[in-house]
Amino acid sequence: MTSAGVAVIITPEARADLDRIWSYIAQHNRQRAITFVREIGRHCFSLPQFPRRHPLVPGHETSGIRRMPHGNDSVFYRVGEETIFILHILNAAQDHEAILFAQKEGGTDGDGTGIKPPFP
């Protein structure tokens, strides 16, 4: 829970992304891996102050997914009524379109994003 009663929820997918980022950086510098993941966390938990300050992903505005840059990485999130959902944390080299907006096999989540919203 953070300011103004708005909760920040880090989805399992975003947690897996953080683990991947930490593991990659830790191969070279364990201390930097720790500080980098903490920086991303602080950045995420600052979102309730101005949750709509970052733009919607161009070309996918109806998905409600926003992109917050952090160095060479981006935090992708959705703003709910009282909750901000951190969906993924991806490196610029990754194909975020394929990860975020690919239609799931056998159908979609209903909005064409391929991401099942963690809220109604």
CATH code for position 94: 3.30.2310.20
80 within some domain: yes
17 within some domain: yes
97 within some domain: yes
- Residue 69's domain spans which residues? 3-101
86 within some domain: yes
The rounded distance, in Å, linking the Cα atoms of 100 and 67 is: 11
pLDDT of residue 105: 40
14 neighbors 88 (Cβ within 8 angstroms) = yes
Residue 5 — pLDDT band, cuts 50, 70, 90? Answer: confident
8 within some domain: yes
116 within some domain: no
90 neighbors 108 (Cβ within 8 angstroms) = no
Residue 109 scores a pLDDT above 60? no
pLDDT digits (tens, 9 = 90+) for 66-105: 999 999 999 999 999 899 999 999 998 898 888 998 754 4
pTM: 0.81
111 within some domain: no
- Number of domains forming the structure of the chain: 1
What is the chain's alpha carbon radius of gyration, rounded to the nearest angstrom?
14
45 neighbors 2 (Cβ within 8 angstroms) = yes
What percent of the chain has pLDDT above 90? 69
